[in-house]
Structure 1
Amino acid sequence: MLETINGQYIVIAVTGLIGTLAYTTQQFVLAPALGGWSSPQTLKFLGPLNLGILILSYYYYLAINTDPGKVPEGWEPPYSLIQTPDQVQAEKGETGPRFCRSCDAYKPPRAHHCRVCRRCILKMDHHCPWINNCVGHGNYPYFFRFVFFVSLTCGYALYLLVWRLMQIRNALRPVRMTEMIFIVFDVAGVFITVFAVSLLSLYHGYCILKGQSTIESWERSKVKNLIKKRKIVAVEFPYDLGTFKNVCSVLGSNPLFWLFPRSSVGDGLSYVLRPNTGR
């Protein structure tokens, strides 16, 4: 359904939602409760909130505007024998050359054709209408950091809103109607956001730990079902290098910089394989 809507409108809507929740939560609910914008308490509690909003907004910008990964023109797989397009079999991964009939070109391992972007995307994870872009090798680290900081920041905002609700419950004097309207709106908006995006960030965190993309996760589920039905023999996923190396392959080799804006690791055209599964 979202694919039928102009992606730019969706991005504008998401940006508007972030701005609206950030503004109304602080201007009409939290800042007055903390003593106003000039109060040290306001800076103490809302400073981290605004830092989180700034960081997630920056990563949202990077996820939108970073190319997810383009196959170089004329790229060919480094095999000693390259089959013609008509000879290419429906093989996956490193088992043989892969050819995209839509692009009329070879595609690297882990690349897939996106029917929305109308081109092959390096290590394609999925097409995300919320960023009006594919999520692939080039922007996946930014996308993951974005959803992580959305979860973290919204979780903190929800904590502050619940604190304010507890204050209101114990208050001896009536609360302004304006504040009540906005607190109901903000609690609902922040709760839905943190619930949905936290599930998304947990899922992608799991994928990173397993060294797989969303598409590969689906493919692995199909393979496991086929193995259970004894239609194929058991095979090992070639890109699972172990938990720590899997994370490093996406976020970088230094854990101290995993949450900092660092670009993708590697060229997206070739990947290190686990022992006994290839090169």
Structure 2
Amino acid sequence: QLIVVFVSILIAFVAYTSQIFVLWNSLGGAVAHTFFVLAPFNVFIIFIYINYALTCTTDPGTVPPNWMPDQNTHFEVKRSTHTARFCKTCNNFKPPRAHHCSTCNRCVLKMDHHCPWINSCVGFENYGHFLRFLVYVEIGSIYLFALLSNRLAQIVEELHTSQIRPSATEATFLSINMIMAALVIICVGILGGYHVYCVTTNTTTIEGWEKGKTLTMKRMGKIQNVKYPYDYGVMNNLRSVLGPQPLFWLWPRTMSGTGLYFPIN
């Protein structure tokens, strides 16, 4: 719980100290220009908080007690026994793409990974929220970095032309928040880029590891060519996570389906 509080405070710190101590006066104070410049950034902040809250509070997907695989539909089997996958810890069968999380101590539907930053797993029900959160964090950080960079350029120009120096408070928050924004852009950009790849190929992080192992075994000649069964094409893969209408992909929505069965390509 503390990590979630920390992340929430950190977002507010960077967002609002930048506006109050750096950008507000430099943009002209309470004028229309300031509103038009800062309004988009604050919209990004709102959506960051909404999607972070949804990611943290939405159950990633729980396997129903005594769930049994339907013999008339596709289900995954263990490679060693060719029988339906079974979790000995939960004493329950595993639906396709479900995995046991040792931290949460339960099986999670379409489990991607356990994320300490949300104090929960990212799975079937909250993966869309998680992806939107990353997108808004990246967009918001780039927007903020651009605003702070513009202010830094103004300060440098003022030092050369009129010898006007920024206050110690402004200089401190400008330095801290530019560094923070740059780090977020790099780190979240890498993480977000990977998850954009995952969603376009309809692959979870765990399945990505498994695909890597499969490719290694194929190169070693231990297995023949194996086709990944859940890739339906880029647009269909995106729709399966973000919804049927591309115009609303960045708008929060619940997942459709149960997460217990997935169509096969």
Report TM bin, short chain.
over 0.9
On the 8 A contact 1:127/1:133 being kept in 2, the answer is: yes
> Aligned partners of 1:30 and 1:79: how far apart in 2?
62
Residue 14 of structure 1 aligns with which residue? Answer: 7
Deviating more after overlay: 155-164 vs 260-269: 260-269
After superposing on structure 2, the runs of 4+ consecutive aligned residues of structure 1 that deviate more than 3 Å are: none
User: Which residue identity lines up with residue 91 of structure 1 in the other structure?
Assistant: R
Residue 277 of structure 1 aligns with which residue? Answer: none
2:220 is aligned with 1:229:
yes
1:231-270 counterparts in 2 under 5 A?
231-270=222-261
1:1-279 counterparts in 2 under 5 A?
8-36=1-29, 38-79=30-71, 90-91=78-79, 96-171=83-158, 172=162, 173-274=164-265
On the 8 A contact 1:239/1:273 being kept in 2, the answer is: yes
1:242-278 deviation digits (Å, cap 9, x = unpaired):
111111111111111111111113210000110xxxx
Deviating more after overlay: 15-24 vs 62-71: 15-24
> Aligned partners of 2:83 and 2:184: how far apart in 1?
42
1:214-233 deviation digits (Å, cap 9, x = unpaired):
10011001100110010111
On the 8 A contact 1:91/1:98 being kept in 2, the answer is: no
User: Which residue identity lines up with residue 191 of structure 2 in the other structure?
Assistant: L
Q: Which runs of 5+ in 2 are unaligned?
A: none
What secondary structure, in the 3-state scheme, does the structure 2 residue paired with 1:260 have? Answer: coil
Displacement of 1:183 in angstroms is 0.3
What secondary structure, in the 3-state scheme, does the structure 2 residue paired with 1:77 have? Answer: coil
Q: How many residue pairs get matched? A: 258
Displacement of 1:96 in angstroms is 4.7
Displacement of 1:13 in angstroms is 1.1
Displacement of 1:56 in angstroms is 0.7
Deviating more after overlay: 188-197 vs 63-72: 188-197
**TM-score (normalizing by structure 2):** 0.94
> Aligned partners of 1:132 and 1:42: how far apart in 2?
37
On the 8 A contact 1:79/1:97 being kept in 2, the answer is: no
> Aligned partners of 2:116 and 2:77: how far apart in 1?
31
> Aligned partners of 2:38 and 2:244: how far apart in 1?
33
Percent of matched pairs sharing the same residue: 43
> Aligned partners of 2:165 and 2:245: how far apart in 1?
52
> Aligned partners of 1:46 and 1:69: how far apart in 2?
37
Displacement of 1:9 in angstroms is 1.3
1:4-28 deviation digits (Å, cap 9, x = unpaired):
xxxx111111111101001110000
What secondary structure, in the 3-state scheme, does the structure 1 residue paired with 2:100 have? Answer: strand
Displacement of 1:90 in angstroms is 2.8
Q: Which runs of 5+ in 1 are unaligned?
A: 1-7, 81-87, 275-279
On the 8 A contact 1:99/1:106 being kept in 2, the answer is: yes
Displacement of 1:89 in angstroms is 6.6
> Aligned partners of 1:32 and 1:140: how far apart in 2?
39
